[in-house]
Chain A
Amino acid sequence: GENVEQHPSTLSVQEGDSAVIKCTYSDSASNYFPWYKQELGKGPQLIIDIRSNVGEKKDQRIAVTLNKTAKHFSLHITETQPEDSAVYFCAASEGNYGQNFVFGPGTRLSVLP
Chain B
Amino acid sequence: EPEVTQTPSHQVTQMGQEVILRCVPISNHLYFYWYRQILGQKVEFLVSFYNNEISEKSEIFDDQFSVERPDGSNFTLKIRSTKLEDSAMYFCASTISSGRLHEQFFGPGTRLTVL
Q: Do A and B come from one complex?
A: no
